[in-house]
Structure formats: structure tokens, C-alpha cells
Chain A
Amino acid sequence: GAGVSQSPSNKVTEKGKDVELRCDPISGHTALYWYRQSLGQGLEFLIYFQGNSAPDKSGLPSDRFSAERTGGSVSTLTIQRTQQEDSAVYLCASSLVGAGRAGATQYFGPGTRLTVL
């Protein structure tokens, strides 16, 4: 079956512009996660959606970052007024059930490489 897909695969933007990154999770997965990986760093948690619950936004680095998940499926991560330090690979993952429960193994998409000039 289809895995997690993300678009675009690469995005180059100028400092100060807004960008939108898209994630299509595996069909039927109730949980969706966004992470980012900066050069030489591990995966940094950004935001977590679980079913109809309010999202866990505790990892968002600033108020320039926001995300939504429409209809419990597709998610969009928006970065406003991009800065050079936002350059990273942004990874989306989904799991069948919520974090911390059996079956919560996360399946990752290929990522979007964002470069802010």
C-alpha cells in the first residue's frame, strides 16, 4: 500500500517568504507528526495530531510555525517569514494509533528539504 508522501521534495525560498509543506499520511492512520532534521542534528519534534484532539504544539520553535490537519488526513506545515535557520529537512510521520500505545510505530515520509537563502 501507499506510504506517507510529502510535497514538495525540495523547496528553495528567500528569507522572509512564507512556505507550505504538505503531508499525506497512510490511509487510516489516526496520528500524524511533524519533525525537522537540521544538519548534524537528530529529529526534532514539532507538532503531533491525534484524531480529533487538540494538537500537541509543544515542539514548534516559534509562532512563525503552524500546522493544520484537514479532515483527519492531509496536513500542511506553514512557516511564515522564513529565516535561514529554518533550513532543514522537514519529515512527516503517521501511526495507526496515538503515541505511547501498542501499534504506535511511526512511518515516515521522504521529507521536504527546505533551503532558505
Chain B
Amino acid sequence: DQQVKQNSPSLSVQEGRISILNCDYTNSMFDYFLWYKKYPAEGPTFLISISSIKDKNEDGRFTVFLNKSAKHLSLHIVPSQPGDSAVYFCAASAGNTPLVFGKGTRLSVIA
């Protein structure tokens, strides 16, 4: 049973527009959420995180929103750039436990 779900395997966005990547989770004990970006043949790279005590965290072009009642989080990238094209993984943890990852969403930013 997947505890972290990324229901869109892929997403295409035009350069300059907003990219919205979504993630749903089932475990109400999750209290820390992260987004990782992965380029081909490289390991995932940490992008941004959010604690369950917040509903928004912003870092430059990247903003993560958390809706605890809906068990949903999203990553907004604006404006999107071709270099943002990668696979994005949502991850979550509950207390002192390792991260649980979603299957990823492949983002393609078209110039």
C-alpha cells in the first residue's frame, strides 16, 4: 500500500509558466515533507521541505504548500525554466523514521 502517491507520472509546461506538482499521502503521522529533484544518471537532490506545523514554505522560485486536512502537498515552480526538467520526488517521514518516497513525476519544461 503506497503511503505517498504522486498520481501524475509526467507533466509538460511551457517555459515561463507555473509548474504544479502534486503529492498525496495516507499516513496521518507524517510530520515532515520534502521534495527532491533527480536528473538522469544522478542521485536525487534535495529541493525544499516543509514541517507539518506550517502550510507554506518558499525558496526562490520554489514554493511548497501543505494541506494537512486533505493530506496533500504541492510544489509550485514559477517561472518554470528548461533546466527544471527532471523527475521530482515527494517524500515524507513520521518522527524518527526514514523517508517514504512517491514514484515521482517527470517534468518537462518546453522552451
Q: Do B89 and A100 touch across chains, with their CB atoms under 8 A apart?
A: no
Residue of B whose beta carbon sits closest to that of A43: B101
**Chain B residues whose CB sits within 8 angstroms of the CB of A107 once the complex forms:** 46
Q: Do A45 and B103 touch across chains, with their CB atoms under 8 A apart?
A: no
* A4 interface residue (CB < 8 Å to B): yes
Task: Take A43-B101, A105-B34 as given contacts and tell me if A99 and B43 are in contact as well, using a CB distance cutoff of 8 Å.
Answer: no
* B13 interface residue (CB < 8 Å to A): no
Q: What 1/0 flags go to B28-51 for Cβ under 8 Å of A?
A: 000110101000011111100100
Q: Do B97 and A105 touch across chains, with their CB atoms under 8 A apart?
A: no
Q: Do B98 and A48 touch across chains, with their CB atoms under 8 A apart?
A: yes
Closest-CB distance, B51 to chain A (whole angstroms): 9
Bound-state CA distance A45–B4 (Å) is 13
Residue of A whose beta carbon sits closest to that of B4: A42
User: Of A41, A44, A100, A109, which contacts B95 at CB under 8 A?
Assistant: A100
Q: Do A56 and B98 touch across chains, with their CB atoms under 8 A apart?
A: yes
**Chain B residues whose CB sits within 8 angstroms of the CB of A99 once the complex forms:** 93, 96-99
Q: Do B41 and A100 touch across chains, with their CB atoms under 8 A apart?
A: no
15 contacts across the A-B interface (CB closer than 8 A): A33-B99, A42-B6, A42-B101, A43-B89, A45-B101, A100-B96, A100-B97, A104-B32, A105-B49, A107-B46, A108-B44, A110-B41, A110-B42, A110-B43, A111-B43
Question: Besides the contacts A44-B101, A109-B43, what 4 more A-B pairs have beta carbons closer than 8 Å?
Answer: A42-B6, A42-B102, A42-B104, A59-B98
